[in-house]
Structure 1
Amino acid sequence: ARRSRAFNLQFWAFNLGMAGASALAGLLAEASYLALFLVDAAATLTTTVIIAWKVPETLARTAPATSTADQGASTADPGTSTAGPGAVRARRAGLRTPLTDRIFLAFVALTFAHAVITAQNSTVMPLAMRNDGLSSSAYGLVVALGGLFIVIGQLFVPRLIDGRRKHRVLATALGLAAFGYAGLTVADGLPGYLLAALVWTVGAMLAAPPNAEINAELAPPRLRGRYQAVFFLTFPAAAFVAPAVGGVSLQYLGDAHWLAVGGLGLLAVAGHLLAGPPRERRVARIADPPAVVSGAVRS
């Protein structure tokens, strides 16, 4: 019931750690690269111990074969099937199930579009800032401002989104991202870039909890690893597409490149508004499945 707040806190902690790591790494690198990597290794080992000690496994090892979630995992539309041996087929399905789940793949595609837009921040935007005569320190200030804004404001996001439909929250987030990056069309100085960064950072803050929550809701328990694997492929894929296509686009379109990025964001807005209702109906069926009595299904 508090999954959204948990994912929100995780996103906040991640950005807080990134901000602290950047500052600490700079200090340690000046003193000793060996110390830098030793501290990094110690932090990783500490995290491993904490997870092993304090984070219990939530998947039962001996779940009944008639579990509705498992039954749904055996079809291209998880959550709607009531076939008896679904758990066995789920274990054998491999990646076929998430890769043939149309509702899940629509969500993955929209997440990929958002990731491509967000990746502009670290791939194409530095080139645009250089073209506008801005220094590397100016780029660092824009990125640092976004991280600082998340650290300060992310804990207040649940109050804004609790009780609201996730697809509408994501549509709003994509709209802010589209508006922010499209605003770089007219930005030619540091204030313009800072203002645009604030706008798309608010979008990223709103999108983080429902994005993670939807992924968890759509994944049948016995296939959650496979669903997570497909979902997280969107980010390295976006890291490949954004600079490859974005560099060509900036070269030939100039500032109009940002209008194209904004257009992609508006398409993703429409996609979330269209794909959201059937996705939420699926989640509702998974959360409240039909009762199964003696092999028969009651509606």
Structure 2
Amino acid sequence: VALSQARGLVALTALAGLAGLAAELYRPAASALLTDLTPRGERITAFAVYRTAINAGIAAGPAVAGFLAEKSFLWIFLGDAATSLVFGLVAFFALPRGRPEPLPTPTPGGLLRAVRADPQLRRLLIGMFGAVFVLFQIATTLPLRVEALGFSMATYGLLVSVNGLMVAATEIPATSFTVRLPPRLAIGTGFLLIGLGFGAMGLATGFVALTAVVALATIGEVLAMPVAGAFVADIAPDDMRGRYQGALGAAASLGVAAAPAIGGALYGWQPAAAFLSFALVGTAAGAVVALPRAPGPGSGFPQTTGENPVPTVENHVDNRHYDVN
């Protein structure tokens, strides 16, 4: 609500930053709670359902905001505050508490040590940063490309709707397929498709072609993102699930932050170089995650097979390394 009354760049920047920070605080805890309440073999589907609910809200938000804006922009901020308050009350009073047994207090600096010591986590964080950097070009260089081709912003809105509708319609059904894949294959392939989709944007000159490249990138998103959330849940020690999910969210947020600055600068310099860069970054992100397992402890990714869709793993002492049976 305070943001609606802000005047001046400093106040707007400070309040927008605080609002963005507050909006993201729940995510690690929500993902950790989802992990606690979901058996290992069902986590990919659970994260897909969770993401579908988020995307449904994202899709509905602009339409509701447009309706409220016709009355007054203040109503948008008041409505957002009201729904956030309701969500907070529901979360506090209605959501389960997660694990009933107490867990040991996490060691300060434990996450940084885990990132340094755990190649599978480190690779995923690097890949997630790159993939989200490319995926978020849907809000940065895609509108510039649409405008350069002579289309209206209404056309851009339709392309964004293609992404949202595809995610909402296919992400949950797709888990019946992705749950049977090795996690590194599903995530790596998804990241690769994201890169190829936005890399091919430079070749698209018509609405059908633009729709096709957005659809290709969206298929990559559907393949990779629920599996990535479930994978982090599986490799995290019990007392660090929130921190692991927070690290994954931080990697994604860094990708979002870098997308407009770097992507916009590249596009302004040379559009062809920008699209080639998106393809290379997406390919590299997929390769980092999908690299073959190297010998040695802590270097492998959980695997699945068609005969046994649930990862069959053995926890070692550090709760982060998995061996395939």
Instruction: Verify same fold: TM over 0.5.
Output: yes
Seq. identity, %: 25
Aligned to 1:51: 91
Residues 179 and 62 of structure 1: CA distance in aligned 2, closer, same or farther (over 3 Å): closer
Three-state SS of the structure 1 residue aligned to 2:190 is: helix
Question: Is the 1:170–1:269 contact (alpha carbons within 8 Å) kept by the matching residues of 2?
Answer: yes
Quote the offset at 1:170 in angstroms.
1.2
RMSD of aligned Cα (Å): 2.6
Quote the offset at 1:281 in angstroms.
5.0
Task: Trace 1:189-268 onto structure 2 (pairs within 5 A).
Answer: 189-268=206-285
1:6 aligns with 2:46: yes
1:80-123 CA-to-partner distances (Å, cap 9, x unmatched) read xxxxxxx57x4334543334233212210011111111111111
Quote the offset at 1:7 in angstroms.
0.3
Aligned to 2:21: none
Aligned to 2:113: 97
1:163 aligns with 2:195: no
Matching residue's letter, 1:160: F
Question: Is the 2:229–2:245 contact (alpha carbons within 8 Å) kept by the matching residues of 1?
Answer: no
Matching residue's letter, 2:52: W
Question: Is the 1:174–1:269 contact (alpha carbons within 8 Å) kept by the matching residues of 2?
Answer: yes
Question: Is the 2:126–2:288 contact (alpha carbons within 8 Å) kept by the matching residues of 1?
Answer: no
Task: Trace 1:285-296 onto structure 2 (pairs within 5 A).
Answer: 288-289=314-315
Matching residue's letter, 1:46: V
- The TM-score with structure 1 as length reference comes to 0.80
Structure 2: tracts of 5 or more residues without a match: 1-40, 305-309, 318-325
1:136-158 CA-to-partner distances (Å, cap 9, x unmatched) read 11111111121112222222111
1:122 aligns with 2:162: no
CA distance in 1, matches of 2:128, 2:71: 40
Residues 270 and 43 of structure 1: CA distance in aligned 2, closer, same or farther (over 3 Å): same
Matching residue's letter, 1:175: L
Residues 276 and 245 of structure 1: CA distance in aligned 2, closer, same or farther (over 3 Å): farther
1:27 aligns with 2:67: yes
CA distance in 2, matches of 1:285, 1:121: 33
Matching residue's letter, 2:71: A
Structure 1: tracts of 5 or more residues without a match: 64-86, 292-299
1:280 aligns with 2:301: yes
Quote the offset at 1:282 in angstroms.
10
Quote the offset at 1:287 in angstroms.
5.7
Aligned to 2:81: 41
Residues 156 and 148 of structure 1: CA distance in aligned 2, closer, same or farther (over 3 Å): same
Deviates more, 1:273-282 or 1:198-207: 273-282
Q: 1:149 aligns with which of 166, 171, 180?
A: 166
- The TM-score with structure 2 as length reference comes to 0.74
Task: Trace 1:165-184 onto structure 2 (pairs within 5 A).
Answer: 165-184=182-201
Question: Is the 1:98–1:226 contact (alpha carbons within 8 Å) kept by the matching residues of 2?
Answer: no
Three-state SS of the structure 2 residue aligned to 1:280 is: coil
CA distance in 2, matches of 1:220, 1:14: 26
CA distance in 1, matches of 2:128, 2:43: 19
